[in-house]
Chains A and B, each alone.
Chain A
């Protein structure tokens, strides 16, 4: 493989990392609070707001049921409004974020709902405010589940980022399609697949290690 091609693969990998990292950070910033709200705003819960809960739930489901390749194109006007352009790697961060946030919200919601209700009751009995219950109890106790869920999110972001070539975004997926498929260069396709496998593997192992680290429910020797 020529040095030019190798440089191209390297640059594409960096593009992928750039998109995934920013979209993950933004997706978590929006999705995690949303997930906590979804988990605590049902009837009779900490921040009881059943109507808002219902509406947000529908929005989250709607976003989650739209295939990413459709979402990518459907929100072009919004992307243009935010980034100024709808084409390119940076522009692709908008749809990636919008796909990731509801995914993260559901993952955080599920992890927070797993926290024993008795802990919430005990903390309220100590005179905690609802926000203190979230900060001191729900988030720390749900952390192992959240860490695993966020790992899953990164992996699915990497998968989604392969599609952004459709709107002129770069990255490994785009490279694989344009060189490996359209220019009939199987060695590029193979290289892209290998890099993606390694990337996902590293993310998964790191995520699992983190989840184990924050999980104090397992007795350690």
Chain B
């Protein structure tokens, strides 16, 4: 089994052989009703997701991400375009072959959607019962699944007796019981606390690595994307407005929406009091404010002290944060530089030549 995400380049079309999921011009328009105008939930979405990849779709509520993920298993029927999963065009299937295809696509949900009348074991067994497997076959599949998600000791517990994280583990075991090639995750960690979220994401990553399952997840949290995704698409008003490797989108966002998602994430956001004092034009005693973004090995470079020594000027750090995105260090920093003798212009040149993305935000007195 081959895992290709590392080989993806932005803008490079994925070859059809390695594409697990391909959406072409997928649109969903809800017709107008007596009380409301027609709503375009998806607007000609093109998306290719490679085999073995973890792809994130990030967007605000109402952006269309829920509709998007549901076109992949045919819970939503697009009004235009085609959806192909593992070589099968989902959008053209009749009811029966669509049911067959759905067995190859697992799904987990924000509110878990476990049957309250069934134990953990029985919940995981459900998709296998639906597929008509014998009790012995079901047992042979369910038990390893419960082991995989670490719930072997909870097999006879009802959902009411499980914590949120445990319920989602049952949900994951259930989604994987039919050995699907694709796992769809619909805000699967949104109802969980941060620590549980991390453990569930780690489990998803493990499943992706060990079973080779292609994962598509939708979320409104950049932290989730950063934690496990290989690539990400930013969705707004039914369109994918930006997509690429997580590291690239996170370090060099091209759209305002992507930037706003990152702002929630990066500590180096501007404080409100600084924003209030920030002005467009320089003044005699003003200091210039820069946002510096450095990635990869540069994050370890003592660039600020080098800058101060080089220009013989004062550099003040207002906020700074270094974190890991997709396993690579990534730092952002807000600094002010004394502009007394036009030093800020020289500083900008120095930083740029050192390979640091430098953005002049304005001036403060």
A-to-B contact residues, CB < 8 Å: 116, 118-119, 121-129, 132, 136-137, 140-141, 143, 214, 216-219
Q: Choose among B73, B102, B126, B160 the residue that contacts A219 (Cβ–Cβ < 8 A).
A: B160
Whether A127 contacts B160 by the Cβ 8 Å rule is no
Please tell me if B147 contacts chain A, counting CB pairs below 8 Å.
Answer: no
The interface residues of chain B lying within 8 Å CB-to-CB of A217 are: 116, 160
SS of B interface (majority): mixed
Whether B115 contacts A125 by the Cβ 8 Å rule is no
The interface residues of chain B lying within 8 Å CB-to-CB of A119 are: 113, 115
Alpha-carbon gap, A136 to B103, bound state (A): 16
Q: How many residues of B contact A (CB 8 A)?
A: 28
Alpha-carbon gap, A47 to B111, bound state (A): 25
- Tell which of B51-59, B79-87, B127-135 binds the partner: B127-135
The interface residues of chain A lying within 8 Å CB-to-CB of B99 are: 127-129
Alpha-carbon gap, A124 to B174, bound state (A): 13
Whether B117 contacts A140 by the Cβ 8 Å rule is yes
Please tell me if B264 contacts chain A, counting CB pairs below 8 Å.
Answer: no
Interface 1/0s, chain B 173-195, versus A by CB < 8 A?
A: 01000100000100000000000
Please tell me if B9 contacts chain A, counting CB pairs below 8 Å.
Answer: no
Q: Choose among B105, B111, B160, B184 the residue that contacts A218 (Cβ–Cβ < 8 A).
A: B160
- The count of A-to-B residue pairs whose CB atoms sit within 8 angstroms is 66
Whether A127 contacts B113 by the Cβ 8 Å rule is no
The residues in B between 104 and 134 inclusive whose CB is less than 8 angstroms from any CB of A are 105, 107, 109, 111, 113, 115-118, 126-127, 129-131
| Besides A119-B115, A126-B102, 20 other A-B contacts (C-beta < 8 A) | A118-B111, A119-B113, A121-B113, A122-B107, A122-B109, A124-B102, A125-B105, A126-B126, A127-B100, A127-B103, A127-B127, A127-B178, A140-B117, A141-B115, A141-B116, A214-B117, A216-B116, A216-B117, A216-B158, A218-B160
The interface residues of chain A lying within 8 Å CB-to-CB of B107 are: 122, 125
* Contacts A125-B107, A126-B178 given; does A132 touch B130 at CB 8 Å: yes
Whether B130 contacts A126 by the Cβ 8 Å rule is yes
B309 CB, nearest partner CB in chain A, Å: 60
Q: Choose among B102, B116, B161 the residue that contacts A127 (Cβ–Cβ < 8 A).
A: B102
Shortest 7 CB-CB contacts between residues of A and residues of B:
A122-B113, A127-B102, A126-B127, A127-B99, A118-B113, A140-B117, A127-B103
B-to-A contact residues, CB < 8 Å: 73, 75, 99-103, 105, 107, 109, 111, 113, 115-118, 126-127, 129-131, 158-161, 174, 178, 184
A15 CB, nearest partner CB in chain B, Å: 37
Alpha-carbon gap, A218 to B131, bound state (A): 30
Alpha-carbon gap, A143 to B115, bound state (A): 12
Most chain-A Cβ atoms within 10 A of its Cβ — which of B100, B105, B116, B126?
B116
Whether B117 contacts A125 by the Cβ 8 Å rule is no
Alpha-carbon gap, A118 to B114, bound state (A): 9
The interface residues of chain A lying within 8 Å CB-to-CB of B75 are: 121, 124-125
Whether A116 contacts B113 by the Cβ 8 Å rule is yes
Closest to A119 in B: B113
Closest to B95 in A: A129
Alpha-carbon gap, A189 to B265, bound state (A): 78
Alpha-carbon gap, A31 to B107, bound state (A): 35
Closest to A141 in B: B117
Alpha-carbon gap, A141 to B160, bound state (A): 13
The interface residues of chain A lying within 8 Å CB-to-CB of B100 are: 127
Whether B160 contacts A216 by the Cβ 8 Å rule is yes
Q: Choose among B109, B115, B159, B178 the residue that contacts A140 (Cβ–Cβ < 8 A).
A: B115
